[in-house]
Amino acid sequence: MDPAIIEVVSTRANHGIDPVLHIWGWEIPVYLFLGGIVAGVMVLLPLLEWRGGKPKSASTRLAPFAAIALISLGMGALFLDLENKFNVFRFYLAFVPTSPMSWGSWLLLLVYPALLMLGLGSLEPSTRLDLLVRLPNRLGLVLRKLLVLADRGRRQILVLTAVSGVGLGMYTGLLLGTLVARPMWNSALLGPLFLVSGISTGAALLMLMPLKGSEHHTLARWDTAAIGIELVLLALLVLDLSGGGAVSAAAVHSLLGGSWTPIFWSLVVVGGLAVPLMLNGLELSRRLNPTLYAPALVLVGGLALRWVLVAAGQESGLGMLP
């Protein structure tokens, strides 16, 4: 048999790889979306406290525990994506400084204690007393010690939470950016883009909760700034890919006339960014009562952004050239 035929049959028969890569399904964009929200919450809650003191509403006091639930859901989606699920422990047998995935794996272990201690330190005295009364003696003793640590090290916990949030937000974009064989992902802009998008979606999640007026007003201003920066970064990403040669231009075509164009422009650019930016501007400039429309649209746009970039990125590559 002709060796060329053998090579074609043996290396190009996987429908998940040839002609384009379709290994990642819905689990990855869901994980990136939930991880981005949690990263945003971890950055915003310390900023709110540094600006205005301890959390003023029940929502911001309980937000760290909600973030723990969300990152756990994201980790669950990531676990479902693993081909060899029982080998997940191998991520924690070594640390590879040059691997974003290794950084991310260890960083995720830091997220849980940071959020737990942030949440415990935010609880009101009555809530703390109620928990101590309800828990068995041994658990109550452990909780009492954790509460003391959370109060004494509040400043350090705030710094740790904010730094971990920045790392988590950047990591989700850098993970894709290291896959140089996919031109749409091979950009240094993905890390900042995912971080800013995470801050925006984190603010949106918090604004969907009952908040004090001052907290909502501050978050709306920060969300507006994040949306503006996100639009600039998206524009720079498109320009960067458009001027990066034939392969990169072919990759970005899926957003500028290709199969993902309708979703990208309707759900991400217009519905998820431009419209919420306008609504936030009207609310802040005219002192209107806050609505749920802008934060809900931001969350839809944040999920759509990651879905489009993951799916379109898998389709980008040398195989796209005629």
**pLDDT, tens digit, for every residue of 88-104?**
777 777 777 777 777 77
The candidate with the shortest Cα–Cα distance to 201, out of 230, 179, 171, 178, is: 230
**Residue 225 pLDDT class (50, 70, 90 cuts):** very high
Cα angle, residue 199 at apex, residues 71 and 81 outer, rounded to 5°:
35
Question: Rounded mean pLDDT of 251-259?
Answer: 82
Residue 168: pLDDT above 50?
Answer: yes
**Going by C-beta distance under 8 Å and a sequence separation of 6 or more, which residues neighbour residue 24?**
81, 310, 314
pLDDT attached to residue 167 = 92
pTM: 0.87
Question: Rounded mean pLDDT of 183-209?
Answer: 92
Tens-place pLDDT, residues 79-91: 887 777 777 777 7
Residue 28: pLDDT above 70?
Answer: yes
Inter-residue contact 172 to 40 (CB < 8 Å): no
Cα angle, residue 106 at apex, residues 101 and 109 outer, rounded to 5°:
130
Q: Which CATH architecture has domain 25-317?
A: Up-down Bundle (1.20)
Residue 178: pLDDT above 90?
Answer: no
Residue type, 254: S
Residue 26: pLDDT above 80?
Answer: yes
Tokens of 270: 């217009």
pLDDT attached to residue 322 = 43
pLDDT attached to residue 251 = 75
Residue boundaries of the structural domains of the chain? 25-317
Host H or E run for residue 40? helix 27-52
Residue 22: pLDDT above 70?
Answer: no
Residue 6: pLDDT above 50?
Answer: no
